[in-house]
Amino acid sequence: MGSSWSRREFLGRTSVAGLAAGLAGAVGAPAVLLGSESRNEQIRVGCVGIRGRGQSHIDAFSGFPGVKVVALCDVDEKVLGTAAELLEKRTGQKIQRVVDYRKLVEDPGVDAVTIATPNHTHSLIGIAAMAAGKDVYVEKPCSHNVWEGRQLAAAARKYRRLCQHGTQGRSCPAIVEGIRKLREGIIGQIYMARGLCFKWRPSIGRIPDEPVPAGVHYDLWLGPAPQRPFSRNRFHYNWHWHWDYGSGDMGNQGVHEMDMARWGLGVGLPAKVQAAGGHFMFDDDQETPNTLVAIFEYPAEKKMLVFETRHWMTNHEDFGSGSSNAVGVTFYGSEGYMQVYYFGYRTYLGQARTPGPKATGSSNEFETFLRGVRSRKVEDLGVEIEEGHLSSALCHLGNISYRLGRTLHFDPKTETFPSDAEANRLLTRPYRAPFVVPKIATEQLDRGY
């Protein structure tokens, strides 16, 4: 074992059961040490997927002291070249340019990997990176389906890596304060949370298939997805609206609200889900619904979670104004309600809806990831991958119910639909070799829920 690997190995012998104790997401949960030494040396970061949100990763991590972005990876050589040139000009440092993520994650000169690729490669790349000894920051949703999300969470346990999910609410002090007040009973007994995602999303139109653009490594981009001709309407950003790669706005924007709703309710995965919606108003290439309502039931906890997305809103329901988007979560209790949004919260108490405590602030999700990498404490992360998996899986369950057009009963312990082969088939996918998400042996791992 070489010195570069040894430097990243955990030296402690913290039990996996002890590790799981830090994953509940409760405010004030005990710290869990994942190694006996902090990583105080420079953290070398490699960014995979550098268009859009990936550029935010580059900008953020290259601005922290003691952190250096050393490698960029993208299947589009034009995007890769432009981003690398800008970073080299800003830092005066030579940046490694990589097309294939497999080369980057195996590089011993990289300590942490950030992932901002399309959804269908998040778990695949995250598992490969952790198997190679890297800590991982993976954008939301962390998975393309429920099964591979569980493998990603299991990989963090098996390889003893820090893995943070890219939903930012738990890294915002104002929202942390709001959730703490929920736990303290500010609105009484909480029985429901309603998340909404109303965004002004125009039609993507209809675009015919075409030759692969020069410099685009399309086979790498497809990864585990089925082989099919290239289309710009299934490539940059518009891949969100196709089942092979994305999960619609339920899993795109909605996973942020799902995570805050689960957190505030104190629940995991549901016992029952029902969803309805469709592709309304626009006639275009989009496969996923642009209007959707999903209801998740937790009978043992006597709680319910509702999520709604609209693509062309008519009102804001107290989130946003004018031409802005409207996203957030409302918690309903016996003594009032609380609205949580990016980034802050406000309360309304009693039948008179008297304004109560409120706060606003900003998120520091990249800072929390680096804090966890240095301290080796799960508690220092924003959304640890177990929580990220559960919130992402919730979105997938809503989409499965929508796609099948019926109510589904779910077993949160096995993460399967009992006696429902049709629904269970949608918990995973056929993987196109060699881009196969591996099954991580979990029989000796405590999943922490």
Buried b / exposed e over 189-224, threshold 16 CB at 10 Å, is ebebbbbbbbbebeebeeeeeeeeeeebebebbbbb
pLDDT over 50 at 444, yes or no: no
Is residue 191's pLDDT more than 50? yes
pLDDT tier at 230, thresholds 50, 70, 90? very high
- Of 187-201, 255-269, 394-408, 432-446, minimum mean pLDDT range: 432-446
pTM of the complete model: 0.91
Helix 53-61 vs helix 365-375: angle between axes, to the nearest 10 degrees?
Answer: 50
Q: At what angle do helices 385-404 and 146-158 cross, to 10 degrees?
A: 170
Q: Is the pLDDT of residue 47 over 90?
A: yes
pLDDT at 121 over 90: yes
- All domains of the chain in start order, with CATH: 3-170+366-384 (3.40.50.720), 173-364+395-419 (3.30.360.10)
315-350 residue pLDDT tens: 899 898 888 999 999 999 999 999 999 899 999 999
Q: How confident is the model at residue 40 (pLDDT cuts 50, 70, 90)?
A: low
Indicate if the pLDDT at residue 108 is higher than 90.
yes
Query: Residue 64: what are its φ and ψ, rounded to 5°?
Result: -90, 140
For the residues 426-441, what does the mean pLDDT come to? 97
How many residues would you count in the chain? 449
User: Given pLDDT bands bounded at 50, 70 and 90, which one contains residue 19?
Assistant: very low
Q: Determine contact, residues 285/207, Cβ cutoff 8 Å.
A: yes
Whether the predicted pLDDT of 353 surpasses 50: yes
- CA angle 384/332/164 to nearest 5° reads 10
Q: What are the tokens at 345?
A: 């919260």
Token pair for 228: 């099919």
Tokens of 302: 């006597």
Summarised one tens digit per residue, pLDDT across range 298-314 is 999 999 999 999 999 88
